[in-house]
Amino acid sequence: VVFYPNGFAIFTVDNITYYPADKIVSFVETKISDRRVLCNILQLRDWIENVVPIFGFDKQNFIHMKNNSNKLVVTAESAVSGVAVVEQEGTCDNDFEVIMDASYVKDIPSSYDCFVAEGQLDRLVLSDGEGGVIILMGAKG
């Protein structure tokens, strides 16, 4: 996992390629309550097995999701700033809509299949709706 000096961590979930911040052409600040971030959840079981250990996080410390019928409850937590944990619902599709608890989110081209969060967001965990946590994304700054 690549952490950049400006506090952003870049992720691609399908092929585990990391893009430098200067290659992301569309940085748009927006209130988190108004922004939905699409996150591709394909192949993430392999991704988390290989990449998450680099974080130094133990899987047991992940935020676990709960499956609610055909809805998936997503919780985002900021361990560095103490931002309150929130829960939102989204459908469990290949592309998962997640609303996160952070001050801002940076918009990125959808073709990157990656996610950029401001340093305030320390970690984000998603579930595939089958009872397993499959992804962790973090930014430190």
Q: Give the length of the chain.
A: 141
Model confidence band, residue 20 (pLDDT cutoffs 50, 70, 90): very low
Select from 72, 80, 65 the least CA-distant residue to 136: 65
- Reading the block at residue 122, the tokens are 């320390």
Q: CA triplet 8, 57, 138: central angle to 5 degrees? A: 20
Token code pair at residue 19? 């893009």
Q: pLDDT per residue over 93-106, tens digit each?
A: 333 333 332 222 33
Residue with tokens 């600040």: 29
Report pLDDT for 25. Answer: 24
HSE-up of residue 1 (Cα within 13 Å, Cβ side): 27
Structure confidence by residue, pLDDT tens digits, 30-46: 222 223 332 322 233 33
Token pair recorded at residue 132: 């397993």
pLDDT digits (tens, 9 = 90+) for 47-93: 334 444 443 433 333 332 233 322 223 333 322 222 222 223 333 33
Give the pLDDT score at 11.
Answer: 42
